[in-house]
Chains A and B, each alone.
Chain A
């Protein structure tokens, strides 16, 4: 930590040493640095800086913590011609991400009894938790897979899960180009076959609450965000399909000896232009498209629950945006006065394009893209707007980040009535497993307000609104 040098507000330089090809860059403020366990993740930031083809910095977001090879909350851009692509830089849950939907009625206007019914209906309708992913409405055939991977989220829309306009409200319109079913193993297909439309376990969730505070009225107005409005936040990824793709790739890369000579074998990577690199990208894109469809179908479940309980037209639950948290994408950025094609790895980080970015749809080109930052199930989540900061390849934080391990959280809450405790905080929670709730209690997380503050101070994204959860479904 003593190596860190403050170079700009909430921006620290981690100077190059040893075989680092680029310096590290840590986005945090002093308070966060005191709070977080920094040594192991910083070591990982240094390790990532050793990878061939990395340009700019090896970057850590304010919600950084120790991950597989790359830290979670890490960003690294590799030259698309000479660089490498690393599954550890994407993570097991490929395109784990978040989407935010809004319902124009004030949350306060939904009475207590109806809220209870809504929560129950959501829990019934959307499979969550271990073993609940096998309850999808249909089993995916290979032909379904092929269309889904080719079309991205448009496939689910075509199946009746949502509306065409939803696609304009997703990162990359809900589709990563280059996906291929041939790059995906039989086991990965089998794992995912019955999991579409399910939340999964761990830190995945659906939460509903009210827009509690607006920080940026201009952007809020452009996005039709109102104080007290009902919001729905969905957090899930590519489920077993993506996990298996990551594992298959790691196994293959290890077998091929691609870990040789690396400072940490968990960074195992293939040259982007190699057959292995291309195959991983095609499989990763497949998982990313699976995840877009997964969140699309979860949203369809939410819409159905609103329709059944509140008797509103499903379309009234409108999607604001969907972002990827774990992905590698080809992007063009200005670097050293030239346009460079880069493969940007974001693992536990969000793309945060600013105003005018040509990749954004009209609505968001005028403002910058929404950056969705879930916090914990008790305190808050945040909606921000991207600033398009090139220092981080237009990236921002992705969440609060854990402050306490699962085992510690479990111990701390053992024997206590956690549901009642949450209720006393104004939050109703339903989950398949009490253990998950205990592991995910709010005090297991850093304060998301501090994380978004550092993100804003560093100029990566600006706060738009604070969201306060009241109804939560956990895995």
Chain B
């Protein structure tokens, strides 16, 4: 009776489009990144084991871009999903996934193992759907993952969270009466630069094709790089942003954080 259908997954945050092609759509809060699927497993036993849960190699959620629609399984697909390209590279998540699977096995659980490499994706809809419609309407979008959850699957794409491990968001939007403001986090200046671009792209997804990997050595250089990107995109496509302000300092309480204000 204590066996449940369980999985570990990260919350996925993205500026989801308001309209999607036909299909049995997962609700926005239910869209997640599964990292281990246990099938039917003993929940109390698993909860008891969590004291030795493997450490996550990141405190700040990874960021990425949904770069293409995929349909799974490849033969006779019943799921329309979006594939993730990680901006920090694949290594951190792949490593964590391997550690998690190993830990589950050590604790006598039997996660379903994929053949081949881990395929990072988020299920968006279940069949029936028209593949060509999903392909034609797809547009790249930014995303990040945060908080890891152990979830009990309730069927019909719904689930219940049984346990959570906090993972910080790379940015959060803050209140600002006239402009827009974000609290941006990072482990390094380079990270702050990337996450600042990610934050902007949540307002303007077309930016994902224009991210800069310029080396930055100070907050001023981050601001200048962001403004160079805004200027360039305004010239090519238009921009909802006027500029990123020279504002604030970098806080260094364990991780770097910065209040970014964007004039709109």
Residue ranges of A at the interface with B (Cβ–Cβ < 8 Å): 37, 65-68, 72, 92-93, 129-134, 187, 190-191, 193, 201-202, 240, 243-244, 246-247, 250-251, 254, 259, 265-266, 268, 402-408, 434
Closest chain B CB from A399 CB (angstroms): 11
Stretch at the interface among B36-44, B80-88, B119-127, B235-243: B235-243
- B247 x A130 contact (CB < 8 A): no
Q: Taking CB as reference atom, which chain B residue is nearest A250?
A: B246
- Beyond A130-B240, A247-B243, A251-B224, whether A404 also contacts B234 by CB under 8 A is no
- A254 x B180 contact (CB < 8 A): no
Extra 7 A-B pairs, beta carbons < 8 Å, given A66-B176, A92-B243, A131-B237: A66-B177, A130-B204, A193-B235, A244-B231, A246-B242, A406-B180, A434-B18
- B177 x A254 contact (CB < 8 A): no
Residue ranges of B at the interface with A (Cβ–Cβ < 8 Å): 18, 173-180, 204, 206, 220, 224, 227, 231, 234-240, 242-243, 245-247, 261, 263-264
A426 CA / B57 CA spacing, docked (Å): 55
- B246 x A254 contact (CB < 8 A): yes
Closest chain B CB from A419 CB (angstroms): 13
- B18 x A133 contact (CB < 8 A): no
A300 CA / B256 CA spacing, docked (Å): 50
A405 CA / B174 CA spacing, docked (Å): 9
Q: Give the chain A neighbours of B180 by CB distance below 8 A.
A: 405-407
Q: Which of A130, A134, A243 contacts B243 (CB 8 A)?
A: A243
A335 CA / B157 CA spacing, docked (Å): 72
Q: Give the chain B neighbours of A403 by CB distance below 8 A.
A: 177
Q: Which of B176, B224, B238, B243 contacts A133 (CB 8 A)?
A: B238
A134 CA / B239 CA spacing, docked (Å): 11
Q: Give the chain B neighbours of A93 by CB distance below 8 A.
A: 242
Closest chain A CB from B264 CB (angstroms): 5
- Beyond A92-B263, A130-B238, A202-B240, whether A405 also contacts B231 by CB under 8 A is no
A201 CA / B206 CA spacing, docked (Å): 16
Closest chain A CB from B218 CB (angstroms): 11
Q: Give the chain A neighbours of B174 by CB distance below 8 A.
A: 407
Closest chain B CB from A381 CB (angstroms): 18
- A202 x B264 contact (CB < 8 A): yes
Q: Give the chain A neighbours of B239 by CB distance below 8 A.
A: 130, 240
Q: Give the chain A neighbours of B238 by CB distance below 8 A.
A: 129-134, 201
23 contacts between A and B (CB under 8 A): A92-B243, A130-B239, A131-B206, A131-B237, A132-B238, A191-B231, A191-B234, A201-B240, A243-B243, A247-B231, A251-B224, A254-B220, A259-B246, A265-B246, A268-B246, A403-B177, A405-B176, A406-B176, A407-B173, A407-B174, A407-B175, A407-B180, A434-B18
Q: Give the chain B neighbours of A268 by CB distance below 8 A.
A: 246
Q: Taking CB as reference atom, which chain B residue is nearest A134?
A: B238
A233 CA / B217 CA spacing, docked (Å): 46
Closest 6 CB pairs of A and B: A131-B238, A92-B242, A243-B242, A240-B234, A130-B238, A130-B240
Closest chain A CB from B227 CB (angstroms): 5
Q: Taking CB as reference atom, which chain A residue is nearest B206?
A: A131
Q: Give the chain A neighbours of B264 by CB distance below 8 A.
A: 201-202, 406
Q: Give the chain A neighbours of B178 by CB distance below 8 A.
A: 65-67, 72, 402
Q: Give the chain B neighbours of A65 by CB distance below 8 A.
A: 177-178
Q: Give the chain B neighbours of A404 by CB distance below 8 A.
A: 177
Closest chain A CB from B237 CB (angstroms): 5
- A402 x B177 contact (CB < 8 A): yes
- B227 x A247 contact (CB < 8 A): yes
Q: Give the chain B neighbours of A251 by CB distance below 8 A.
A: 224, 227
Q: Taking CB as reference atom, which chain A residue is nearest B243?
A: A247
- B220 x A243 contact (CB < 8 A): no
A94 CA / B264 CA spacing, docked (Å): 13
Q: Give the chain B neighbours of A132 by CB distance below 8 A.
A: 238
Q: Give the chain A neighbours of B176 by CB distance below 8 A.
A: 66, 405-406
Closest chain A CB from B39 CB (angstroms): 35
Q: Taking CB as reference atom, which chain B residue is nearest A406?
A: B180
Closest chain B CB from A456 CB (angstroms): 24
A130 CA / B173 CA spacing, docked (Å): 21
Q: Give the chain A neighbours of B220 by CB distance below 8 A.
A: 254
Q: Give the chain A neighbours of B173 by CB distance below 8 A.
A: 407
- A191 x B235 contact (CB < 8 A): yes
Q: Give the chain B neighbours of A259 by CB distance below 8 A.
A: 246
Q: Which of B175, B204, B245 contacts A266 (CB 8 A)?
A: B245
